[in-house]
Amino acid sequence: MLASAGLISDGWAPGFAVPLIWVLVGLFALGTLVNAISRAKLERVWAPVSLVIAVSCGIIAAGM
């Protein structure tokens, strides 16, 4: 993530970093869905937060 932001050099990331970030995208997307359909009001509040994190991870993964 820091390399995508230009804060460190690009050569540091091992080969599994990009697939791992895509796994995070999927997990946060799933978390968004589960939070959105939850009966608990507090969990539904976290759905937009999960969505923002999923989209942010997706943008980072797409840029790597």
Backbone dihedral region for residue 6 (phi beyond 0: left; psi -120 to 50: alpha; all else: beta): left
Task: Find the mean pLDDT for residues 13-18.
Answer: 76
pLDDT band at 58 (very low <50, low <70, confident <90, very high): very high
d(CA 13, CA 7) in angstroms, rounded, equals: 13
* Structure-token pair, residue 7: 């804060």
Residue bearing the bigger pLDDT, 59 or 16: 59
Torsion of CA 49, 54, 55, 60, to 10 degrees: 130
> pTM value?
0.75
3-state secondary structure of 56: helix
What per-residue confidence (pLDDT) applies to 48?
Answer: 97
> How is the chain split into domains, by residue range?
17-63
Give tens-digit pLDDT for 17-49.
889 999 999 999 999 999 999 999 999 999 999
d(CA 46, CA 34): 10
